[in-house]
Structure 1
Amino acid sequence: MDSTYIKLVRLYDESVQSALSKQVRDVSSKYAGGIMDASGIPRPNHGGTPSVMACWACALVNPESRYYHDAELLAAFDLAADFMLNRQHADGTVSLGSTNFNSPPDTGFVVGGVAQMYQLLSRHGWPDIQPSAAKLKLFLERTLPAMLTGGCHTPNHRWVLTAALSLLYEIFPLPELAARAEEWLAEGLDITVDGEWTERSNGIYNAVSDIALYHTGRVLHRPELLEAVRRNLRMMVYLVHPSGEIVTDYSGRQDFGHTYRPATYFLSYRLMAAHDRDPLFAAMADYAGSFIQGTEGVNNNALLQLLLYPKETDISGLERASLPDRYVKLINGSHTAEEHLKRIESVGHHMKIQHSSMHLAFGAPIVRIRDGETSVTVMTRTPSFFSLRHGKVRLLGVKLSTSFSPGIVKFEELICEGNGYKLGVTMEKGYNGPIPKEKLLPQESFGEQAAAASGAQSMPEASGESRMPPDASHERQLSSGAAGAQGEPSPWYLLPHQHRPLTHVQTHRLTAELMPEDSGWRMRIVSDEREDVLTQLTFILGAEGELQGEGLAAAGEGRYMLQSGTARYTAGGDALEISPGAYEHFVAELRDDSHPAGCQYVHLNWVTPFDKTVAVRLR
């Protein structure tokens, strides 16, 4: 029998009692039936009560669960279904809770799982479960207006909504549901040839888009959508460290720099392995399944979909490929990111999008390098340009900051030279001149406004006195778009700043050459000839290791200046050394840089111009 399936049944059974103890049983409470999350408040979002209900639904209809047809669990499930109906807003939506109120996309996440839950229960030949299934169907029916009209925030939300619309279409075969999904799909898929989604979110949102588009393609008979899922799943083979930690060092979302495991990809790999009969995907499905420790969001619930789609997830007898552990992989090397960025101005949105981000780093090239237990990432258009794992040692990132911009340098260029890599960026900073008069709205002079406001007449010249030159301010034009009474300000925010000419534009060029060596890496950082730019190179290390070095001087909690010599970082018997130190200026933290808690930081301080080489040696 499938080992992942057996593991899931056991895990879900173990979680049932714990979740039952968190259910609100006070029928007078507005939260009656809900399951409290970490906030202490039951929520109807995809990671809250519906996620627990999916676990309970699996147990109730699975003969291999010890809770199969359990009366107590059925009563708790029915009460939870009441909670979902009671917390559903009049417009059919639910709220995320932490943010996103009356949210169509968050409702879409929930619909994606509740629709599958309803299908599983309604197909099960147990009359006692059907009243609860009917409540789920009512919940889904109430969401129809919001799903047919609702919008989104982020790129992945579009595919969450298409999946919700598609799964609803399986239950309520209304042509307008499919038509609305096609409206979203008409925007085109936001994925590179190498498989990177817009948000570059390997820890969270890649998997969200993958599972959503799988079901959209399945229901709407759009097999071409599965090619995007394939691309991302192939890419993710190279974005896992030896420990199973996913590479999140360059994410554009909240998984940036945090630890995630491949469990969330289990269903996408399994479904696509079965669909394509792909040995690599089958091996990755097994690997991802080995990291499952509990339930995912309701839209990506592993056991729920194994039970609902037994044929579509069957990979028994399928050969498994060997997962690569030695490679050099360039991702997005052929993506035309620069050409896309040049077209922004012609689009007309002027870099303004409500409640979301432009995600300008989409498609930026990265390099992934794996050599057994050593794992390296070279990155562009992100705060850190280099990260490394070596056994238990975690070099979470290396970043460069300057006083020129000021702040963190994001390298834009990546060139592969031999077995090394060259990063580069030319920063630009200028000054804003006065707005041309013709771009300002015509105004009365300040003096004319004042006279009109007071009703005063011009004073006659006194006999024999010379006339004083008029106050220049009385002749000055107001520069705002709104004329007013004497003393009315000219608000800075009402000025057409886009018309200011740039003056005294300055540039600053930085390059980083990264070269692998037998014992580690050599980093050569070079500036142009501009003088006296304060610069700081920072190594970000895991909090679990120990730092030592005679040249280390404390610079705050978890932060050290490597003023000279070598810093040695050890973790679990593995070690990394950084040298040589430098302390050419005394600024501990450059403007617009930040150092969040939970890590250790080693800083090297330089002043331009410089040509510096730093060694990172692995022990």
Structure 2
Amino acid sequence: MPTPLDHEFVRSAARAADRLAAPLAADPEEEPAGVPHRGLARRVKTLVATYRSPDSELHGGKQAVAAAMTQLRALRAAQTTTGLFAGGDNVQSPPDSAFTVNDVCDAHVLAAGAGPELHDVTAALAEIAGAASGALLTGGVHTPNHRWELCAALARLHRSFPDYRLLDRVEEWLSEGVDIDAEGLYSERSANYAAHVSNPSLLLLADVLGRADLLDAVERNLATTLDLIRPDGTVETVHSRRQDQKHPFHLAPYLPHYRLLAIRTGRGDFGRAARLAAAGGIDDPDLLAQTLLTPDLCRALPTPDAETLPRTRYITTARLAARASADAHTVVYGGSDVPQHRRIRSGLACNPTFLRLFAGHAVLDAVRLTRGFFDLGPFRAADMRQLADNRYRLTETLTAAYYQPLPPDQRRDDGVYRLVDEGRFSAAMAFPDRPRDEVSHTTRVDVDLREDGADLRFDISGPRVPWALELTFRPGGVTEGAVPIGDGRWCLTTGPMTYRVGDDEIRVEADVEAGEPLAGPDRSDVLRYDPGQDYTVVGGTDATTGNRVYIGGLGSHTLTVALRARRSAPVA
């Protein structure tokens, strides 16, 4: 028996496309101003899709065709003599142009099958694609996901304009191997680039090339992402090596991938994720074109699996653990790249948040620990180990040095020495040639993930320097039991505190087992977040925003912190 179609899904996709296309079709001769080339190509693709789709209000309309031609003229004008597109901060970029060419080629498939009314649109798309082909065939990339976007563009070009040189180039890139690890994460560990680039590109390549291994890579990534879906409908990004490590990323862009693989494999867990991704409504105007290009998307989803609670996942390659229960969803993270590379850099996982806790509407967005040790920044675990089920240990030892005089055979009469980076700062001091006296500071955090939250134990050892534990709660709640110290900040010393949103709350209680008494609300020099000199030297910061509660002290300490989630209506 054939699988029934999901007409409501297709109608929702058509409505999303119409929201973009209808205003363009209403004034089809209006020249686009300030629209980047990728936006122009997406407009053309969406207009052609609405023309083709019986569920669109623009179906078969001449206005959609005229609007598509207007956008195409602007797109052709943005194409340089190299065939690449102008615009953006990546100059003469083959991968950025590949994003546009992917949409151009999809639009060409849709237009070519629409009859003579779209003849001029089809010809204009073919001209643009042909002009870009040579540059994409020989062009390079500068990020891991660019390889798959570029390969997808080459495969789409071959699909419409067969040229086996294009496939040879695809095979050259693919022979490097897909950058997916044993746990199912791509090397950039980014939800944004998995959803928008790697997964859709590999799905296209799997289809054009008949490569089941590429389809398997996408399925493995989606399976791992199931354990990274948070109760607020976002995907965990604290471990990302890209821009989304600092921002929430919604599940919605994963919708077509979860939906397609749920339909093709019958996986109920993917079906559940697809429903979650669409729970806030369908806003992606590109989905309609995808339903026309991949009709399987229009089929009804399989029966979704019920959510398994409680559940725990430890992703060893990212050093990230998540535990979900009816009361709480907790994430603990110790996979920063900063301890190894000793610098903040684009392409590295730099976020110093090491714990999050969701209790319904009450959300502890970030737990961070800052130390006043040579301005080396907040705690980022260099090591994370699983001690037992749901128990983890995060450790970092910071080391700084004082340098002795150079040995006699290394001294220069002119006093001019090499400018080198010693890991903390740079100077013309020839540091590697000097004896050094080291000072160290060690932080160890033991985390026990419970069904109702987490127990944390901090062992801080080293010189008598200030430290502060920062708990950043998502705005919208009421803080009780802590002392306000201004600017959305509170101090917690003795006694418990709660952060309450409606009937949901997170309770925090700290206890000192060894060390001096905790800093009081008058110690603003202690109760603050220090991002470290990599940020402050250029006047920057990675500080959080929200309601921030501080627990602080001086010198070595052993401290326990209990976090408890209480919900009015736990998940069934």
Cα pair distance change 1:439/1:309, threshold 3 Å: farther
Aligned length: 522
Q: CA shift at 1:613, angstroms?
A: 0.9
Q: Which residue of 2 is the match for residue 589 of structure 1?
A: 528
What is the one-letter code of the residue matched to 1:408?
A: P
Is 1:617 aligned with 2:547? Answer: no
1:304 to 281, 289, 311: 289
Alpha carbons 2:320, 2:335 under 8 Å: kept: no
What percent identity do the matched residue pairs reach?
A: 25
Distance (whole Å) between structure 2 residues aligned to residue 277 and residue 420 of structure 1: 34
TM-score, normalised relative to structure 2 = 0.83
SS of aligned partner of 1:423: strand
Q: Deviations over 1:55-101 (max 9, x none)?
A: 2221111122121111222211110011110111221112453x223
Q: CA shift at 1:386, angstroms?
A: 0.6
Q: CA shift at 1:272, angstroms?
A: 2.7
Is 1:213 aligned with 2:213? Answer: no
Is 1:4 aligned with 2:9? Answer: yes
What is the one-letter code of the residue matched to 2:564?
A: R
Cα pair distance change 1:317/1:610, threshold 3 Å: closer
Distance (whole Å) between structure 1 residues aligned to residue 191 and residue 76 of structure 2: 34
Is 1:370 aligned with 2:306? Answer: no
Is 1:328 aligned with 2:321? Answer: no
Is 1:278 aligned with 2:267? Answer: yes
Bigger drift between 582-591 and 609-618 goes to 582-591
**Unaligned stretches of 5+ residues in structure 1:** 26-31, 333-362, 446-474, 482-491
What is the one-letter code of the residue matched to 1:246?
A: V
Alpha carbons 2:445, 2:456 under 8 Å: kept: yes
SS of aligned partner of 1:270: helix
Alpha carbons 1:284, 1:323 under 8 Å: kept: no
Alpha carbons 2:386, 2:393 under 8 Å: kept: yes
SS of aligned partner of 1:407: coil
Q: CA shift at 1:495, angstroms?
A: 6.2
Q: Which residue of 1 is the match for residue 251 of structure 2?
A: 262
Is 1:404 aligned with 2:337? Answer: no
SS of aligned partner of 1:618: strand
What is the one-letter code of the residue matched to 2:84?
A: T
What is the one-letter code of the residue matched to 1:9?
A: A
Distance (whole Å) between structure 1 residues aligned to residue 543 and residue 27 of structure 2: 33
Cα pair distance change 1:478/1:609, threshold 3 Å: closer
What is the one-letter code of the residue matched to 1:545?
A: G
2:394 to 423, 428, 431: 423
SS of aligned partner of 1:80: helix
What is the one-letter code of the residue matched to 2:18?
A: D
Cα pair distance change 1:579/1:110, threshold 3 Å: same
Cα pair distance change 1:592/1:319, threshold 3 Å: closer
Q: CA shift at 1:414, angstroms?
A: 2.6
Distance (whole Å) between structure 1 residues aligned to residue 473 and residue 415 of structure 2: 57
Q: CA shift at 1:560, angstroms?
A: 2.9
Cα pair distance change 1:428/1:189, threshold 3 Å: farther
Q: Deviations over 1:438-488 (max 9, x none)?
A: 889xxxx8xxxxxxxxxxxxxxxxxxxxxxxxxxxxx4464469xxxxxxx
Is 1:507 aligned with 2:507? Answer: no
Distance (whole Å) between structure 1 residues aligned to residue 414 and residue 455 of structure 2: 60
2:82 to 82, 86, 91: 91
Distance (whole Å) between structure 2 residues aligned to residue 310 and residue 318 of structure 1: 16
SS of aligned partner of 1:389: strand
Distance (whole Å) between structure 2 residues aligned to residue 402 and residue 494 of structure 1: 24
Q: CA shift at 1:207, angstroms?
A: 4.4
Cα pair distance change 1:537/1:22, threshold 3 Å: farther
Alpha carbons 2:24, 2:67 under 8 Å: kept: no
Q: Deviations over 1:293-343 (max 9, x none)?
A: 3226xxxx32212111214x36447454334343111112xxxxxxxxxxx
Q: Which residue of 2 is the match for residue 534 of structure 1?
A: 466
Q: Which residue of 2 is the match for residue 604 of structure 1?
A: 551
Q: Which residue of 1 is the match for residue 359 of structure 2?
A: 390
Alpha carbons 2:405, 2:435 under 8 Å: kept: no
Q: Which residue of 2 is the match for residue 338 of structure 1?
A: none
Q: CA shift at 1:216, angstroms?
A: 1.6
Distance (whole Å) between structure 2 residues aligned to residue 136 and residue 185 of structure 1: 27
1:60 to 26, 51, 56: 51
Q: Deviations over 1:29-50 (max 9, x none)?
A: xxx3x2x6xxxx21112xx222
Alpha carbons 1:111, 1:164 under 8 Å: kept: yes
Alpha carbons 2:496, 2:509 under 8 Å: kept: yes
Cα pair distance change 1:517/1:169, threshold 3 Å: closer
SS of aligned partner of 1:256: helix
Q: Deviations over 1:478-521 (max 9, x none)?
A: 4469xxxxxxxxxx989695844561123322111222456532
1:13 to 18, 36, 47: 18
Alpha carbons 2:368, 2:469 under 8 Å: kept: yes
Structure scoring higher RCO (CA < 8 A, sep ≥ 6) equals: 2
Q: Which residue of 2 is the match for residue 560 of structure 1?
A: 490
Distance (whole Å) between structure 1 residues aligned to residue 239 and residue 451 of structure 2: 26
Distance (whole Å) between structure 2 residues aligned to residue 391 and residue 295 of structure 1: 27
SS of aligned partner of 2:66: helix
Distance (whole Å) between structure 2 residues aligned to residue 292 and residue 154 of structure 1: 32
Alpha carbons 1:539, 1:601 under 8 Å: kept: yes
What is the one-letter code of the residue matched to 1:273?
A: A
Cα pair distance change 1:428/1:23, threshold 3 Å: farther
Cα pair distance change 1:265/1:514, threshold 3 Å: same
Provide the alpha-carbon RMSD of the alignment. 2.9
Cα pair distance change 1:307/1:570, threshold 3 Å: same
Q: Deviations over 1:533-589 (max 9, x none)?
A: 2111111111222323352322xx333333544432222331112234831654243
Q: Which residue of 2 is the match for residue 111 of structure 1?
A: 101
Cα pair distance change 1:259/1:70, threshold 3 Å: same
Is 1:70 aligned with 2:54? Answer: no
Distance (whole Å) between structure 1 residues aligned to residue 354 and residue 149 of structure 2: 31
Cα pair distance change 1:74/1:24, threshold 3 Å: closer
Cα pair distance change 1:517/1:237, threshold 3 Å: closer
Q: CA shift at 1:523, angstroms?
A: 1.4
Distance (whole Å) between structure 1 residues aligned to residue 167 and residue 408 of structure 2: 53
Alpha carbons 1:242, 1:373 under 8 Å: kept: no
Q: Deviations over 1:352-411 (max 9, x none)?
A: xxxxxxxxxxx3211111113521111113411110111001111101111225211111
Alpha carbons 1:8, 1:303 under 8 Å: kept: yes
Distance (whole Å) between structure 2 residues aligned to residue 69 and residue 436 of structure 1: 83
What is the one-letter code of the residue matched to 1:371?
A: S
Q: Deviations over 1:199-241 (max 9, x none)?
A: 2212443542111111122212322122211110000111111
**Unaligned stretches of 5+ residues in structure 2:** 337-351, 420-424, 512-517, 533-540, 567-572
Alpha carbons 1:376, 1:389 under 8 Å: kept: yes
Greater Cα radius of gyration, structure 1 or 2 = 1
